[in-house]
Chains A and B, each alone.
Chain A
């Protein structure tokens, strides 16, 4: 059973690889004549880093119909498929400890391209390249040099997110009894290792204590049940914890020593020194609404600690107008609270939670989905700084405020019949806090074309369509006459009104062309980047409609559809650009050597490019 799932996944991956390989839609063959089966594909599986062949790899032949069973290669790494019909074949080599392996893949992150086999054709030199995973490991010890056992270790990758470098959690492990940890499947990149003690570890310990005495446990359970719900237990929590520490021994992420991993790199000496600290309580009362919202979440976070909540919230979900977070190490935090109202659920429809779509009863599927107006109930939020030095903060008064809304209307600019408004939805995308977008879902549009978002915590938001109806697409977002299509709306204490979202039925522009290298040959490995000429628009690159990248086809052809009209820079370069180009500094450099193009609405523009290095 499990095996067949693996196979399905593998085939799925092959199909994806095949699709990703072809940049252009494949036209159908003139006639589906019965193919003769005399084709041969022969090749070798190699470790690209060493150039040596790899034995024991499994080579699968994919493509529609999955014509033949996979093969296991011998010591010479050679594989052969015979009796093949004319077709496009996706080949993939897999081997434990390696990644890559797709036909046509020339770099660790490069695209896969299928092998096009003609009728009776024989291809004799397909090379499938594998790269060894890198390794990051080490030993975690405490301030006395003793191993720190069973601590959580996170592998964080340094990635560009919306124009800024952020650490993204990739893998999690735990130190063993010698304090050692190991990540054995690391793809090339820049990484940081962080170590911390899970607050859950204390709960496990309490649980073990309870389990040690069955009668205590059952007695406690009886009490819980007889009380008709969980009564308050009196809890006194005075544990020292290992706070989040970044390798080698930094208290904040910015001071961490990054680890650069290439294919097959072994960095198993990334040791971490941790020191346990006393912890304190942060507790107090919740003021603002008459009753504490039932779905209020309260967290202590710090951006320098990856915004991971610290401590153990002893009162989470209890209501009752008070909160109590124990086990907080000294540090500077923001005490955040948010409660987003649940979407109203009309009769017969299951109510969605915050941020969930609420399709109307009886209609199924995305195409016919309808949307409700954002809930009328307020969003409650709070955010206040808390500094813990060497004592509990038990008198905190957390004042919840109502979130502000973005209000406006939809305008249809075009000749086509206006889209059915109940099937349209807009969405406020939080620019500063990607996770924050989860707290507000799509907001429907009223019959008169007006809309309002759910209450939003203060911050910067972009207005986007989360659902539309062909041929209508977003043309512009204007606030009090100012174009904020690509610039964020500042939400503060008051509602933002007079937002006009204009839709157009005219086609977007597209840009296509061919990339050649300096010698004038087609370049099959190039990457094409396009970004707005207006530097003001470089602040929100992650969510911009005007910023795109595209790989070229095997013949060097690129195609960028659905471009808003305007002025752009377009640049052809190597694949290494993709990792870090979405930042203003890099765009500044690229713009000096890029080609400037202007596209008009509905224009199908052609622009050939010459590949340049950065």
Chain B
């Protein structure tokens, strides 16, 4: 599973843990609970939380101490002098974290904002006092959203998207904003987003509502004509707005003309032009995400004047007919109109820039609300729920929309490419599952600038026009992922039986064998008319682990360091590769790659660095330099758990 996948899981897991902590929705009779109730310890952790820039104490910060190992949670707050005390701490390994609104949360031992912290190893009854915990102030972005008349637009969703090394970085966005913080403009059109990590961002605004479709802008001539109509026929009697008692109210009101005809004749500007509507706008003021300008925020900076003007644009409709491979009109075909370069946008803006439709029985479709821009229109047959979707057909066409409706489009479906094979379970310690229905095999494009969500293993991507293709495995373990367009893909899987996270944690893909070679974590090329067959996706419950202790020349734990475990094969050196791992040692010098953080089996280098920029470990030049600096070589066979102590310096 890729790193973004782990983050997604983290969110799910956090929710599960929270419900355990808060007890929400969990109903567990007392007799069913495990007999051992954790004991409170006698250790103490105390210290001071300070601003990492100014060294001034920070009051009212929430200090959380969490241990998975011993199921302990301690929460305290810093006082005016920034001091905090966490009592009753049992022995174990703990994460210590400080948070406060408008600040960037930080773990103990983090050397800079956004850096990981170190684990605290507590002995029984240990008094660990005088700890220094640093936090850094977050940046602020603020501005006004106005309309074409310069008037404030309230209730606009304004979002920041962080840009990483290879384009938009969804993970970094979530990390930087504490789960994707958004902000709505107030009645003055003002938004203010605070607590933002330093970095480069796109700012986008997604206005809602706007004039109803078909709204017609009145001109002075319209009004004058109306006034003439009043005068010409007969003198106008001053008359109250209510001219009749309700007793004369007719029971029905008949439209004077068919509605469709009116919609066209009363359209916004030209007789045949599309109606106006809001489209997402990007700073400094464009509807085209490719022309957006990013802003770069320094640590704690307040960036004002990030203003955007929301403009009404013509929202065109795209009409056409889809024909099947047999030449007959194809009914119930799903169409998705997706904006090019949408990879730079937020999910909400992406949704706003994506429209869909289905073909009617005669193969005809209408997609509405397309603002000006470059699009790809994709058609895809949809299998009936539960039915085998072996024969997925697809068609795709680039479209340029420039304020005009597009009609008479013809799309010819063709057979999609597919990846098929079977799932194997290599059970070394757990009972093999009785059947394999529910195992999901996913064929996803690797993360690219155009497709930042490719690596996110999830349904969000699937619903947005088939970026990810997945297939639930049949009971006998066979699968066929269909409807693929030519391109580069990663094949992976998850054991999602019944949605049990324990399955996800216990069974991981150990190999993906295609034509006799293992392509797990490596992209495969799917060519036009190329069907990939006999792929074997093997899940295993055997997991590899690495741990050890880092010491300096004097034998003391070297906590100010980061351990990097990376594949010797350069083909795995890409962004978010799960064969490039990093970890920081705890206060006892111990580092771990275990559980989901454990390595895939294979050939690795192990290196230690003193500092690491976020994402730097995925850069080929960086890894090349590490590989030359005589790293330790570690080879993992399936299920192998290794220990490797490291001594740094002479």
Q: Give the B-binding residues of A (Cβ under 8 A).
A: 1-4, 6-7, 10, 21-24, 26-29, 32, 35, 37, 40, 42-43, 55-56, 58, 60, 63-74, 76, 78-80, 82-89, 96-97, 103-104, 113-118, 121-127, 133, 135, 142, 144, 146, 149-150, 176-177, 182, 184-185, 201-240, 276, 291-292, 294-295, 312-321, 524, 553-555
Q: Which B residues lie within 8 Å of A223 (CB)?
A: 68, 71
Bound together, the chains give a CA A221 to CA B172 distance in angstroms of 23
Asked whether B140 is an interface residue with its Cβ less than 8 Å from the other chain, the reply is yes
A300 nearest CB across to chain B (Å): 15
B251 nearest CB across to chain A (Å): 4
Closest to A229 in B: B28
B347 nearest CB across to chain A (Å): 15
Q: In B294-346, which residues have CB < 8 Å from any A CB? A: none
Asked whether B425 is an interface residue with its Cβ less than 8 Å from the other chain, the reply is no
Bound together, the chains give a CA A150 to CA B100 distance in angstroms of 9
- CB of A215 within 8 A of CB of B254, answer no
- CB of A2 within 8 A of CB of B230, answer no
- CB of A3 within 8 A of CB of B369, answer yes
- CB of B250 within 8 A of CB of A87, answer yes
Asked whether B54 is an interface residue with its Cβ less than 8 Å from the other chain, the reply is no
- CB of B215 within 8 A of CB of A69, answer yes
Q: Which A residues lie within 8 Å of B253 (CB)?
A: 63-65, 67, 85, 87-89
Q: Which B residues lie within 8 Å of A60 (CB)?
A: 212
Bound together, the chains give a CA A23 to CA B23 distance in angstroms of 52
- CB of B597 within 8 A of CB of A215, answer yes
Given contacts A3-B210, A113-B242, A239-B76, contact A320 B21 (CB under 8 A): no
Q: Give the A-binding residues of B (Cβ under 8 A).
A: 6-7, 9-11, 13-14, 16-30, 32-34, 37-40, 59-60, 62, 64-77, 80, 86-88, 90, 93, 95-97, 99-102, 105, 107, 116-117, 119, 138, 140, 149, 151-155, 178, 186-188, 192, 194-195, 208-220, 222-223, 225-227, 229-230, 233-234, 236, 238-239, 241-256, 259, 262-263, 266, 277, 355, 369, 500-502, 505, 583, 592, 594-597
B339 nearest CB across to chain A (Å): 16
Bound together, the chains give a CA A404 to CA B73 distance in angstroms of 41
- CB of A114 within 8 A of CB of B23, answer no
Q: Which B residues lie within 8 Å of A202 (CB)?
A: 62, 75
B584 nearest CB across to chain A (Å): 10
Interface pairs (6), CB distance under 8 Å: A24-B246, A80-B218, A88-B246, A116-B248, A218-B505, A233-B38
Closest to B80 in A: A144
- CB of A69 within 8 A of CB of B214, answer yes
- CB of A40 within 8 A of CB of B230, answer yes
Given contacts A72-B211, A276-B77, A317-B25, 12 further A-B contacts (CB under 8 A): A7-B212, A28-B251, A29-B251, A42-B230, A82-B229, A97-B152, A211-B11, A214-B597, A222-B502, A233-B72, A236-B75, A553-B246
- CB of A26 within 8 A of CB of B246, answer yes
Bound together, the chains give a CA A60 to CA B594 distance in angstroms of 63
- CB of B97 within 8 A of CB of A116, answer no
Q: Which A residues lie within 8 Å of B216 (CB)?
A: 69-72
- CB of B95 within 8 A of CB of A210, answer yes
Q: Which A residues lie within 8 Å of B211 (CB)?
A: 58, 70, 72
- CB of B34 within 8 A of CB of A227, answer yes
Given contacts A103-B241, A184-B187, A210-B14, contact A56 B68 (CB under 8 A): no
- CB of B87 within 8 A of CB of A115, answer no
A47 nearest CB across to chain B (Å): 14
- CB of B74 within 8 A of CB of A236, answer yes
**Top-6 shortest CB links A-B:** A184-B187, A80-B226, A116-B244, A209-B97, A150-B101, A230-B20
Given contacts A42-B226, A213-B119, contact A226 B502 (CB under 8 A): yes
Bound together, the chains give a CA A42 to CA B40 distance in angstroms of 77
- CB of B223 within 8 A of CB of A76, answer yes
Bound together, the chains give a CA A294 to CA B242 distance in angstroms of 59
Q: Which A residues lie within 8 Å of B229 (CB)?
A: 40, 82, 122
A520 nearest CB across to chain B (Å): 18
Q: Which A residues lie within 8 Å of B76 (CB)?
A: 238-239
Given contacts A70-B215, A206-B75, contact A235 B250 (CB under 8 A): no
- CB of A214 within 8 A of CB of B73, answer no
Cβ-neighbour of B218 out of A23, A71, A184, A218 (below 8 A) = A71
A178 nearest CB across to chain B (Å): 8
B289 nearest CB across to chain A (Å): 20
Q: Which B residues lie within 8 Å of A103 (CB)?
A: 241
Given contacts A29-B251, A553-B246, contact A233 B595 (CB under 8 A): no
- CB of B73 within 8 A of CB of A206, answer yes
Given contacts A83-B256, A87-B250, A104-B241, contact A222 B505 (CB under 8 A): yes
Q: Which B residues lie within 8 Å of A58 (CB)?
A: 211-212, 215
Given contacts A211-B11, A234-B39, contact A229 B64 (CB under 8 A): no
Closest to A203 in B: B18
Q: Which A residues lie within 8 Å of B101 (CB)?
A: 149-150, 177, 201
Q: Which of B18, B19, B23, B597 is packed against the most chain A CB atoms within 10 Å?
A: B23
Q: Which B residues lie within 8 Å of A227 (CB)?
A: 34
Bound together, the chains give a CA A35 to CA B28 distance in angstroms of 69
A26 nearest CB across to chain B (Å): 4
Closest to A186 in B: B187
Closest to A279 in B: B77
- CB of A211 within 8 A of CB of B10, answer yes
Cβ-neighbour of A65 out of B29, B87, B252 (below 8 A) = B252
Bound together, the chains give a CA A135 to CA B154 distance in angstroms of 13
Closest to A241 in B: B77
Given contacts A21-B246, A80-B226, A225-B502, contact A318 B28 (CB under 8 A): yes
Closest to B97 in A: A209
- CB of B67 within 8 A of CB of A2, answer no
Closest to A278 in B: B77
- CB of B21 within 8 A of CB of A235, answer yes
Closest to A72 in B: B217
Bound together, the chains give a CA A4 to CA B233 distance in angstroms of 38
Q: Which A residues lie within 8 Å of B23 (CB)?
A: 230, 313-318
Given contacts A6-B212, A208-B178, contact A32 B95 (CB under 8 A): no
- CB of A320 within 8 A of CB of B18, answer no
- CB of A64 within 8 A of CB of B17, answer no
Cβ-neighbour of B117 out of A22, A114, A203, A212 (below 8 A) = A212
Q: Which B residues lie within 8 Å of A316 (CB)?
A: 22-24
- CB of B30 within 8 A of CB of A319, answer yes
Q: Which B residues lie within 8 Å of A96 (CB)?
A: 151-155
Q: Which A residues lie within 8 Å of B19 (CB)?
A: 230
Q: Which A residues lie within 8 Å of B16 (CB)?
A: 221, 224
Closest to A27 in B: B247
Q: Which A residues lie within 8 Å of B40 (CB)?
A: 234, 236
